Amino acid sequence: MRKWSCLLLAMLILAAAIPLAGCGSESKTTSGEPYKIGALFSNTGFNAPLGQPEVQTVEMMEERINKDGGINGHPVDIIWYDTGSDPAVCYDMAQKLITEDKVVAIIGPTGSGDTFKIFDLVKNSGIPLISCAAGTAITIPTATDDKRWVFQSPQTTLMIVDRLFEYLKTQNITSIALITDTAGFGADGLKTIKAEAAPDKYNLTITSAQTYDTDDSDMKTQLGKIRDSNPQAVICWGTNPGPAVIATNMSDLEMRNIPLFCSHGIAFKAFIDLAKEDANGVIFPCGKLPIVDYLPKKSDQRELLLEYRKNFEAKYGKGEANTFGGHAYDALTMVTAALENAVTETPEEMASSNDTLQAVRAKIRDYVEQKINSTGYPKTDGFVGTAGIFNMSATNHNGLANDCIVMIKIADQKWTPAE
Amino acid sequence: MRWMTTDLFVQSLTSGLTQGCIYALIGLGFTIIFNVTGIINFAQGEFVMLGGMLSYFLTRSAGLPVVPALLLSVLVAALVGAALYLLTIRTARRASVVSLIIITIGAAIFIRGIAGEIWGINPVSPPPFTGKHPLHVLGATILPQALWIIGITLAAAVVLHLLFSHTIIGKALRACSMNRSAASLVGIDPKTMALIAFALAAALGALGGAVVAPLSFMSYGAGVGLGLKGFVAASMGGFRSQTAVIVGGIVLGVVEQVTIAIGWGPFKSDYKEAIALVLLLLILLVRSRKLSEEERVS
């Protein structure tokens, strides 16, 4: 009994150590010490569909940056940890990045829950955080003292919902039915939708508000109730596979004469793979990446988006590039721009003196706040990213404008502009 | 009933029946293993997931037709179930029942991780057995695949009944569940019976997974939720009677869908699982009262 329980214990410890050993990046064989940039992503857990392309993006970029000679001649080491979509794990991993790995900045986390959990930690440690989460409260209403160190690279949920509602106005749609995921992404969307549908805002009637769990496989009962409530449109908020099930269920129930709008959570090839012909006709608000081929040549984002898509798909498969990976790209390029333009201290100096490390962290924060805008990048009227053109300021740590979101319609199982 | 049309009610019944059959199949797996070995196998949900993922892989990537893919998925899952028993439970056989149960939890995490590595995180769906054209029955829309689910569940129930009452192996399994030491005294090897129980439960779970995946898109993490629902179904059957487990599974499925259909007060989609679990608690309370009354009488 003793022998077997010892063996079992050893195997369990070994199994637990494997994921930890797999984390972090390999060391590069380039000259000198590397700049260490930290990242927190949901590689597993309910935000994994959003977090995995973010991990893939930073790994791809780390390779490219180092192949192209690094930054200021120094290689770059991106140390990322999986938060498992769990705020408690996120907190622990953030602490590790700050005190053990001594990174100069942190990119991510993927989810809003994770982000909120480390606000205080980031503020007290004096390290800049560029979150890849869309929670509106991360930088809105203003980047006050508490949020001085926090930035946000995606469009906020508020911006996305407002853009959708603007489109509904042009289609004369005033009554909507909702069907949303109970998990984080859907719950956040539902809250924002209800707030923005209020009489003093977009004044939309919500005829029915149904919910479903992420793993539910049959939403016909909820859709039956929605059909009975007679809405002019159905809005579905959630990530795969829910919206695909809903699109298919609606076709089975012959409800597709009612327009179906989804969130940007379906902006993955996986949605079309799952829903197949039932994906046709779905309209959703999103960043410009899925329809980059339709952007005019003079668009500042076009070249960047084509390049990003080409590099991502070369490594990870055709059709796989998506806006969520793009948020990690934007966050990382802001940090590398800061390192390139504002940081003169070497990694060796940062390793030997904590004061130097703190000073560098502050410099990166200042650069992102003061230079990731039209003053730092006058030729393009702001910092060009995959999500849009950023104009950060002391009060606005998101920096994106509403015109960075477009309405996309799926036709012939491909993404096309809706207007 | 202003808040629910007859059509909606019938729809919730048919959707609930379909879902419930899956819960029943999973619950049967729990029951068989518990009866023969006394262990609650928390990896049961993962067998369901394996059934779905394997049938997807075999039909989409390997291009096999539906029936061979189904049989092969169930067979592979049965082998995984047998391997699970041999490598973990049999090896740690002198451990307490609680330790063995915890080992199954660890095995579930392991299987899920491997599946995630092999097939990625994206949900997938194998093709439906006989096409997608929806049928309209009494005001409800039902897909042909749902009829397959209900039919296969009934067939599995009949086959199991015949197995347990008319074959030597079935009777040996029942003997083990009644009294393990007595069974070994008459020459039945409890270790072999446990192996068969695990393989059989895995096969049942995988069958459920393979037949529901065309409808509901399986992914590597789907086993957790499904396993839990199957566990509830098994609890409703007291982990003993097969008929009760099947009824329990169907009741669970129907209660969930009817709760959504009511959509009033606490009877909303958000609370559908809570409502079903409250019902389970009531059933268990009533049953335990009846049992203690019987004891008092005797």
Contacts of B87 (CB under 8 A, 6+ apart): none
From chain B, the residues in CB contact with A217 under 8 A are 19, 212, 215-217
Nearest C-alpha in A relative to B222 = A215
Region A392-415 average pLDDT: 94
Q: How confident is the model at residue A24 (pLDDT cuts 50, 70, 90)?
A: very low
What does the angle CA A217 – CA A220 – CA A225 come to, to the nearest 5 degrees? 140
- The domain ranges of chain B are 6-297
By the CB < 8 Å criterion, does A241 face chain B?
yes
Contact B18 A218 (CB under 8 A): yes
Alpha helix (H) residue ranges in A171-235? 184-196, 220-228
Alpha carbons A154 and A177: distance in angstroms, whole number: 26
pLDDT surpasses 90 at A92: yes
Helix, strand, or coil (residue A180): strand
Cross-chain Cβ contact B106/A4 below 8 Å: no
Question: What is the model's pLDDT at position B70?
Answer: 92
Whether A4 sits inside 8 A of B143 (CB atoms) is no
Which of A1, A44, A213 shows the shortest C-beta gap to B94? A1
Residues of chain B found within 8 Å of residue A182, distances taken between Cβ atoms = 270
- In sequence order, the 6+-apart residues with CB closer than 8 A to the CB of B84 are B43, B104, B107, B198, B202
Residues of chain B with Cβ-Cβ distance to A245 below 8 Å are 216-217
- Least Cα distance to A125 among A95, A153, A154 occurs for A95
Residue A14's pLDDT band (cuts 50, 70, 90)? low
* Four-CA torsion A202, A206, A207, A213, nearest 10 degrees: 140
Cβ separation of B5 and A228 shorter than 8 Å? yes
- Span B73-96, pLDDT tens digits: 999 999 999 999 999 888 877 788
Q: Under the phi-then-psi rule, with left for phi > 0, alpha for psi from -120 to 50, and beta for the rest, what region is B55?
A: alpha
Name the percent of chain A lying above pLDDT 90: 78
Place of tokens 């999500």: A387
Cβ atoms of B73 and B54 within 8 Å: the answer is yes
- Site from B269, B271, B272, B275 to mutate, A interface, most A CB atoms within 10 angstroms: B269
A180 chain-B contacts, CB cut-off 8 A: none
Residue A254 has pLDDT above 50, yes or no: yes
Residue B96: how many CB atoms within 10 A of its CB?
A: 9
Q: What is the reported pTM? A: 0.84
Residue found under tokens 């080409």 = A310
Q: Cβ of A274 and B124 within 8 Å?
A: yes
* Same CATH fold assignment for domains A30-155+311-401 and A158-286: yes
Asked if A12 lies within 8 A of B106 by C-beta distance, the reply is yes
Q: Which residues of B touch A48 (CB under 8 A)?
A: 121
Farthest-apart Cα atoms in chain B, separation: 63
Chain A neighbors of B92, CB-CB under 8 A: 4, 8
Cβ distance of B141 and A252 shorter than 8 Å:
yes
Pairing of strands A106-107, A129-131: parallel
A374 part of contact set with chain B, CB < 8 Å: no
A28 burial type by CB count under 10 A (0-12 exposed, 13-18 middle, 19+ buried)? middle
CA B12, CA B260: separation in Å to the nearest integer? 8
Residues 6+ apart with CB under 8 A from B187: none
Q: Say if residue A17's pLDDT is above 60.
A: no
Taking 50 as the threshold, does the pLDDT of residue A27 lie above it?
Answer: no
Outline where DSSP puts E strands in chain B.
135-137, 140-142
- Could you tell me which residues come within 8 angstroms of residue A330 by beta carbon, excluding any fewer than 6 positions away? A153, A385, A386, A387, A390
Predicted pLDDT at A44: 87
Distance to chain B for A44, nearest Cα, Å: 9
Please tell me the distance from the alpha carbon of residue A378 to that of residue B41, in angstroms, as a whole number. Answer: 63
Fold of B6-297: ABC transporter involved in vitamin B12 uptake, BtuC (1.10.3470)
Confidence of residue A280 (pLDDT cuts 50, 70, 90): very high
Residues comprising chain B, all counted: 298
CB A53 within 8 A of CB A317: no
Question: Is residue A292 less than 8 Å (CB to CB) from chain B?
Answer: no
Cα–Cα distance, A214 to A87 (Å, whole number): 19
Nearest to A182 by CA among B214, B157, B48, B268: B268
Report the pLDDT value the prediction gives residue A25, as an integer from 0 to 100.
46
Size of interface A-B (CB pairs under 8 A): 91
Q: Write the residue in A5, A245, A270 that is nearest to B122 by C-beta.
A: A270
Interchain CB contact of A16 with B (< 8 Å): no
Number of other residues whose CB lies within 10 A of the CB of residue A386 = 29
* A212: nearest CB among B11, B92, B269: B269
Indicate the residue of A15, A48, A212 with minimum beta-carbon distance to B121: A48
- Give the per-residue pLDDT at B175: 86
- Of residues A69 and A17, more confidence is placed in A69
Would you say B195 and B82 are in contact if contact means Cβ atoms under 8 Å apart?
yes
| Contact assignment for B269 to A210 by CB distance below 8 Å | yes
Contact state of A210 with B260 under an 8 Å Cβ cutoff: yes
What stretch of H or E contains B150? helix B144-166
Q: Indicate if the alpha-carbon torsion angle B211, B215, B221, B227 is positive or negative.
A: negative
Contact status of A49 with chain B (Cβ, < 8 Å): yes
Given an 8 Å threshold on Cβ–Cβ distance, is A8 in contact with B257?
A: no
Contact A270 B95 (CB under 8 A): no
- In angstroms, the CA A151 to CA A109 distance is 11
Per-residue confidence (pLDDT) for residue B149, from 0 to 100: 93
CA angle, corner A404, sides to A400 and A410, nearest 5?
145
**Torsion sign over Cα B130, B132, B134, B140:** positive
- Taking each helix axis as running N to C, give the angle between helix B190-216 and helix B144-166, from 0 to 180 degrees, rounded to the nearest 10: 170
Low-confidence ranges of chain B (pLDDT < 50): 1-2
For residue range B22-49, what is the model confidence (pLDDT) as tens digits?
999 999 999 999 988 888 999 999 999 9
CATH class of A30-155+311-401: alpha beta
In CATH, what class is A158-286?
alpha beta
Is the pLDDT reported for residue A142 higher than 80? no
Instruction: List the helix and strand counts (H, then E) for chain B.
Output: 11, 2
Element (H, E) at A393: none
